[in-house]
Amino acid sequence: MAKKHIKIAAGIAIVFFLFFFALFLFFAAFLGGDGLPFGDKVAVVEIEGIITESNSINKQIKQYGERDDIKAIVVRIDSPGGGVGPSQEVYRELKKISAKKKVVASMGSVAASGGYYIAAAANKIVANPGTITGSIGVIMEFANAEELLQKIGFKGYVIKSGKYKDIGSPLRGMKEDEKRLIHGVIDDVHKQFVSIVAENRKLKIDVVKKFADGRIFSGAQAKNIGLVDELGNFQDAIDTAASMAKIKGKPVVIYPEKKGVRLWDFIFGDAANQILKRLKGGYGLMYLPPYGINSK
C-alpha cells in the first residue's frame, strides 16, 4: 500500500514538474522577445559617458568571455572618451576576448577619442552615418590661478623633493622646460594611439598620422578612410555579430543588468571618488575630443 502511495506521489510530482517547465518555456518565449533562453547568444556591453574607470566594464567582458553559450559580444559605445588608463585597460580586455569570440563595436551618437580607442579592439566596427567619431589625440589640461590669487592677496607655498614635483601647479605659471617635458609624455601616448589604430585597422602609420590630429569625423567619413567597417544601427551590429559567430536564426541577446547608485556608495564608494577626482581637476592624460562634443 505504501509503495502505491509513493508511486502516485511521484507521478503527481512529475506531472507538476512538466507543467511548470512547459509554463516556463511559454513565458520565456512570449515575454523574452528574443526567443528561448537556450542556445548560442550575443551579449551586449555598454560604454556610456566619460570613461573614468575600467573595473566594472572589464568584469562584464570577462564574465561574457568565460561563458560557452555566448558566441559574440557587441560593445555599444556612446562616449566621447575619457582617461587614457581606463580606455587602454578596456581595450586590452576586449582584445583578449576578440581572439576567441567575435566582437563587434556599435557606435551610438558619439564614439570618439577614448571611445574609438576601445572600438579598435573589435573584429568589426559599425557606426551610424552621423556618428561623431575619430578625434585621435591626447590632451592634458592645467589651470593657472597665479594672477587671480595675487589680486585677492592669497599666497601658496610648495615644498617639494625634486625640480618637477609641482609641475602643473595652479599656484604658478609653467616654465618652458616643464612644457617640453609634458609635451614629450603626450607625444608618446599619442604615438601609442596611432600605433593601435594602424595595427587594428590594417593601415599604414603614415596614413593614420595624417588624420590623427584630434579632428572628428562623421561615421560616413570614418568609413571612407578605413576607421569604420560598416554603416548601420545597433540592431545591425547585433545581426552582424550573430552572422560572424554563425548563429542560426534570431539570436538571444543578453543585456547588462542595470544598477542604480546606492546612497551608501554615493557617499563612501566609487561615485564619491569620481566626484572628488573631477573637483580636483580631472584624470590626468585624457583621450577626449574637442570641446562641445559629448555623448548626450
Give residue 281's pLDDT: 45
In a 3-state reduction of DSSP, which class is residue 105? strand
The reported pTM is 0.79
Give residue 108's pLDDT: 97
For residue 15, is pLDDT > 80? no
237-261 pLDDT per residue, tens:
999 999 999 998 888 999 987 665 5
Strand partners, 216: 134
CA contacts within 13 A on the Cβ side of 281: 11
63-103 pLDDT per residue, tens:
999 999 999 999 999 999 999 999 999 999 999 999 999 99
The DSSP 8-state label assigned to residue 69 in this structure reads T
C-alpha cell of residue 61: 567582458
**Cα 56 to Cα 131: distance, rounded to the nearest angstrom:** 25
The DSSP 8-state label assigned to residue 154 in this structure reads -
Contact present, 2 and 34 (Cβ < 8 Å): no
Catalytic residue among 54, 79, 87, 113: 113
Q: Which of 283, 113, 107, 89 lies closest to 197, judged by CA?
A: 113
For residue 18, is pLDDT > 80? no
Contacts of 268 (CB under 8 A, 6+ apart): none
Q: Length of the chain, please?
A: 296
Burial 217-234 (b: 16+ CB within 10 A, else e): bbbebbbeeebbbebbeb
Fold classified for 35-136+206-287: 2-enoyl-CoA Hydratase; Chain A, domain 1 (3.90.226)
Q: Is 101 exposed, middle or buried, given 0-12, 13-18 or 19+ CB atoms closer than 10 A?
A: buried
The reply to whether 165 belongs to the active site is yes
Q: Which amino acid is at 293?
A: I
- Residue 156 — very low, low, confident or very high, per pLDDT cuts 50/70/90? confident
Q: Is 118 exposed, middle or buried, given 0-12, 13-18 or 19+ CB atoms closer than 10 A?
A: buried
Catalytic residue among 165, 179, 250, 296: 165
For residue 32, is pLDDT > 50? no
Strand partners, 217: 133
